[in-house]
Amino acid sequence: MEKLQPILDRRITRTRQLIYETFISFISEKEFTQISIKDITNGANISRSTFYAHYQDKYDLLDKTIQEKLSELNNSLVETKSNYINYQSNIEISDPYFVTYFEHLAMNHRFYHTMFTKMDSSEFLSKMYEVIRESFYIRVSSMEKEQKLLVPLDILLDYCSSSIIGITKVWMENNMIYSPHYMALQLTRLAILGIYKTMGKMN
């Protein structure tokens, strides 16, 4: 049984990956409401019973796909936390937080591009917003206590999260016209200099 388990685990992983890839392909081609279980099973070349062994329906598949990808994003940000918490501001060196963030998006481009351009999913945006907001909260919480915030914490977190979601949406809509590292550097500069200095409005 112990020898069979890794084989079964690999089969489950392969099957779910096949279902995921087929599902994303269909979302890229037509409306989510028009996609049927038959489309997915035919496209993945699996039986309906195999599909239902993993997911209740296409809505469950969508929910679990979003949860899995955003968990990967969250884990990436948590794993590199020490890098960006210890980062010393430098407009020529990208903040490790933004590097981790944009590299994750680039590695999962097909998923994020589909979510941002093909799906009208407020649930996805809300969940992604929370992942980003929580990561910034952790970062702020790690600051030394004597460092005082110049604006209320909730406004700071909402501003950071909303701006990142917004720039991500445009980046995806334009098929990642800039590289992940270029994006990371530009957001680093915006974060350090602020909007007015970036526009040349302040000395």
Residue 11 has a pLDDT of 82
Residue 145 has a pLDDT of 65
Helix (H, G, I), strand (E, B) or coil at 56: coil
Question: What are the Cα distances from residue 141, in Å, to 47, 127, 163, 177?
Answer: 49, 21, 20, 34
* pLDDT for 19 beyond 60: yes
* pLDDT for 191 beyond 50: yes
Residue 129 has a pLDDT of 96
pLDDT tens track for 81-128: 887 788 888 899 999 999 999 999 999 999 999 999 988 677 899 999
- Model confidence at 40, pLDDT cuts 50, 70, 90, reads very high
85 closest CA partner among 96, 94, 101: 96
